[in-house]
C-alpha cells in the first residue's frame, strides 16, 4: 500500500501487525502503527547546511532534492532525535513544526538546552532505559559516532557526563511492531548487546559508508551496505531499509550498489528502498 505523504501521513490506514513508514530524505522518517501515534525520527526539512560556512564551503551540503513538505507541515506526536549533528537535529525544522502541533522530543541529554529553547517538551534518552511517550515505547540504543573525524578511534561509543551522546532507537509502536533507527553508526559490540531480545522487525540503517577521501574532509562515516546487512541479520530484522545515502552528493551511496549487494550477497534479507515522500505499509 502506497500513499503520497502530502495527503497527510496521519491519515494513513495501518492495520494491526503492520507499520507505516515514510522516508523524508537523509536519516528522516515518519513511523506509524495501528495505534495511530505518529513518530518522526531525525527530520531535516530545511536547507540550513547549504550555505553555512560552519559546515564547509558554500554548496557542499546543499540538498540534492527539495523536502517532501515544509517544516510547518510536519505533523507528529513524538520527534526522536539521535544526535546533535545538524542533519539530524534541525531547529529550523522543529521550530515551525512546533507551531503547528506541540510534541515531545526524545533526545540525548546533551541536547536538553537546545530542545527546551524551542519550547518543546524534552524527554532525555539514556541507553538501556526504555521510556513511554505518547503511547509508544522507545528503547534507546548506543551508536558509535563522533562530533567530527579525528582518526579511526573516533568510531566509538561516546559517553559524556554519564550519558551516551549518540544514540539509535528501537521504537515499539504496537505489540510486535518494532522499528530500529540506528542514527549514525558503525558496527560496535555495545550495539549488538543492546539489541539482544528487542527483535526489531524493521531496521532503518545508514549505508553511506566511509572512506579516506571523506574523512580528510572531516566527514564521520557510517555503516557500509555490507555492514548494514550484517547488523540487520544480527538484530533479526525482517526488513532492511537504507538511510543516510540520498540527500547530499558529497556523502551519498548508490541505490544500485545497495540493491546489488543485497541481492548477490544477502539473498535471504528482505529490503525496501523507499521513495522520499511516499508512505508505505510493511508487514512485520
pLDDT at 7 over 70: no
What number is the average pLDDT over the span 206-235?
Answer: 95
pLDDT at 201 over 60: yes
Q: How far apart are CA 37 and CA 272, in angstroms?
A: 22
Could you read off the pLDDT of 239-283 as tens digits, one per residue?
999 999 999 999 999 999 999 999 999 999 999 999 999 999 999
Residue position matching grid coordinates 561509543: 157
What number is the average pLDDT over the span 150-172?
Answer: 93
Strands in 68-120 per DSSP E: 78-80, 104-107
**Greater confidence, 92 or 153?**
92
Could you read off the pLDDT of 14-69 as tens digits, one per residue?
999 999 999 999 999 999 999 999 999 999 999 999 977 677 788 899 999 999 99
- Asked whether the beta carbons of 182 and 168 are under 8 A apart, the reply is yes
- Cell numbers for 255: 541505490
Model pTM? 0.96
Q: How far apart are CA 127 and CA 165, in angstroms?
A: 10
The confidence score (pLDDT) of residue 53 equals: 65
| CA proximity to 64, closest of 250, 256, 257 | 250
CATH of the domain spanning 2-283, picked from 3.20.20.105, 3.30.450.40, 3.40.50.10860, 3.60.15.10 = 3.60.15.10
pLDDT at 211 over 80: yes
Amino acid at each position: 500500500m502506497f500513499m503520497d505523504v502530502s495527503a497527510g501521513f496521519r491519515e494513513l490506514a495501518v492495520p494491526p501487525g503492520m507499520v507505516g513508514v515514510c522516508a523524508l530524505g537523509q536519516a528522516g522518517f515518519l513511523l506509524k502503527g495501528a495505534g495511530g501515534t505518529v513518530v518522526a525520527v531525525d527530520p531535516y526539512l530545511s536547507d540550513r547546511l547549504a550555505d553555512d560556512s560552519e559546515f564547509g564551503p558554500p554548496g557542499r551540503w546543499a540538498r540534492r532534492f527539495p523536502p517532501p513538505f515544509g517544516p510547518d507541515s510536519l505533523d507528529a506526536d513524538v520527534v526522536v532525535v539521535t544526535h546533535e549533528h545538524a542533519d539530524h537535529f534541525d531547529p529550523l525544522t522543529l521550530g515551525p513544526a512546533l507551531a503547528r502541533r506541540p510534541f515531545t522530543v526524545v533526545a540525548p541529554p546533551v541536547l536538553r538546552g537546545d530542545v527546551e529553547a524551542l519550547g518543546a517538551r524534552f524527554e532525555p534518552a539514556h541507553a538501556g532505559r526504555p521510556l513511554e511517550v505518547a503511547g509508544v515505547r522507545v528503547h534507546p540504543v548506543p551508536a558509535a559516532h563522533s562530533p567530527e573525524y579525528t582518526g579511526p578511534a573516533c568510531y566509538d561509543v561516546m559517553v559524556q557526563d554519564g550519558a551516551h551522546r549518540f544514540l539509535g532507537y528501537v521504537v515499539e509502536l504496537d505489540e510486535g511492531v518494532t522499528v530500529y533507527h540506528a542514527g549514525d553508526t558503525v558496527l560496535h559490540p555495545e550495539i549488538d548487546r543492546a539489541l539482544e531480545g528487542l527483535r526489531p522487525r524493521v531496521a532503518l540503517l545508514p549505508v553511506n559508508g566511509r572512506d579516506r577521501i571523506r574523512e580528510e574532509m572531516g566527514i564521520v562515516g557510517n555503516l557500509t551496505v555490507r555492514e548494514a546487512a550484517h547488523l540487520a541479520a544480527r538484530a533479526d530484522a525482517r526488513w532492511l531499509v537504507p538511510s543516510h545515502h540520498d540527500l547530499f552528493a558529497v556523502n551519498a551511496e548508490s541505490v544500485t550498489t545497495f540493491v546489488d549487494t543485497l541481492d548477490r550477497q544477502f539473498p535471504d534479507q528482505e529490503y525496501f528502498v523507499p521513495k522520499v515522500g511516499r508512505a508505505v505499509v510493511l508487514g512485520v
